[in-house]
Structure formats: structure tokens, C-alpha cells
Structure 1
């Protein structure tokens, strides 16, 4: 395992621009994926879609 990590570190140092671009692409993909999921799980006021808060507001008398 130590040999593998040593070789990986040496490769990352020698090809640092490639590794940097790779990590930027990975982080961008994770960010885009999180943004896509986040829009589908919340309502327009920031609460959970169909959550307890919404049901309580719908049951309020006089509104």
C-alpha cells in the first residue's frame, strides 16, 4: 500500500496540472449534481416539499 501511495504522489506531482484539472471537474460535477437534487427536494419557501409545515399552514382556520 505504501508503494502505491508513493507512486500516486509522485505521479500527482509530476502531472500536477492534469490532477488539478481532474479535481476541478470532479468538484464541479458534484456541485452541479447537488444543485440539481436540492431544487427538487424543497418548496419555493425553502421548506421540505409536502412537509409538516405545509400541512399545518393548510389546516389553519380563518385563512
Structure 2
């Protein structure tokens, strides 16, 4: 049976994803489970990558607001 802490952690993660805050810990766990040979991005690189993917950053992409 899930604990209150588990429920809180799930609610926190969901709220962060809803407002666009990426989950680095989930990324690290996914990479370890599914792509162990691939290099991990550090936290700053991961955040920049998520922002660029969300808002269209980069020299070859048209920026957008959402």
C-alpha cells in the first residue's frame, strides 16, 4: 500500500512537470535502466536541454513561448 510520503512525492513530481520543471532524478533512473552505455548529462546541461526542447532554443529552431 502506498504511503503518504509516496503520494506526496508523486503529487510533487506531477505538479513540477505541469509547470515545466524537468525531473533530473527520473532522467538519471531512466538512463541507467534503458541506456546504461550512454553518457549522462550533468544537471545544468539537462536543464538547458529541457528548456531548449520546450521553447525551441538552438540556432536552427524558431523560438516559441510554449
What TM-score, normalized to structure 1? 0.32
Rg (Cα) greater in structure: 1
What TM-score, normalized to structure 2? 0.31
Which one has a larger percent helix, Structure 1 or Structure 2? 1
